[in-house]
Amino acid sequence: MPTFDMPIFLALNATAQTPAPVLALARVASSWVPWVFAALLVLGLLHPRLRRGALVCVAGLLLTWCAVHAIRWALPMPRPAALGVGVQWVEHGLRPAFPSMHAAGSFAVARCLGSLAPRRVAVCAWLAALLVAWSRICLGVHFPSDVLAGAAVGAGCALAALVLAARLPRWRAALPTARGRS
């Protein structure tokens, strides 16, 4: 475990003294933000003008899912509860925690939207991804290194999907560019 993990984890993990609204925000972020991202992707898949971008985002998420599972298989790092550290505020199994799937998926979507969506949508997606990452530590189910690794894996896999899609001649003209976004 990196040396920075424990002090940051203990500072961000909710305790009995944590205000109820903070804990509620963490639960909502952890439970609902991924579903909001999923709903947006489904809507994007249904809309003809947004379909290709949504497909790139789905490809990034699939790469992310595979990468996270491969890393967890190769490096089965324990969750804080398995080490008897902090307070766990949501029921969670003791399967490997590194990297965080919630953070990875959220950052994959944010990275794709950062390239494909209008600026205000992209900023909201990045803020939502940061909120999800914080919530996983606050709720006691991940160490900071888990969410940082998840963020890197998700953003990296999304970037790979964006680069691959841009290299496909048929898709290149259909994907929006960063220029001209509002």
Whether 171 shows a pLDDT value over 90: the answer reads no
Over residues 130-154, mean pLDDT: 95
Q: In Å, how far are 9, 30, 79, 135 from 87, measured between CA atoms? A: 10, 16, 11, 13
Instruction: Count CB atoms within 10 A of the CB of residue 10.
Output: 13
pLDDT (0 to 100) of residue 47: 83
Residue 112 and residue 117: Cα distance in Å, rounded?
8
Whether 179 shows a pLDDT value over 50: the answer reads no
Residue 157 and residue 106: Cα distance in Å, rounded?
12
**Residue predicted with more confidence, 63 or 82:** 63
Under 8 Å between Cβ of 129 and 110: yes
Angle at 164 between CA 125 and CA 72, to 5 degrees: 65
Residue 141 and residue 163: Cα distance in Å, rounded?
33
pLDDT (0 to 100) of residue 180: 47
pLDDT (0 to 100) of residue 38: 87
pLDDT mean across residues, the chain: 87
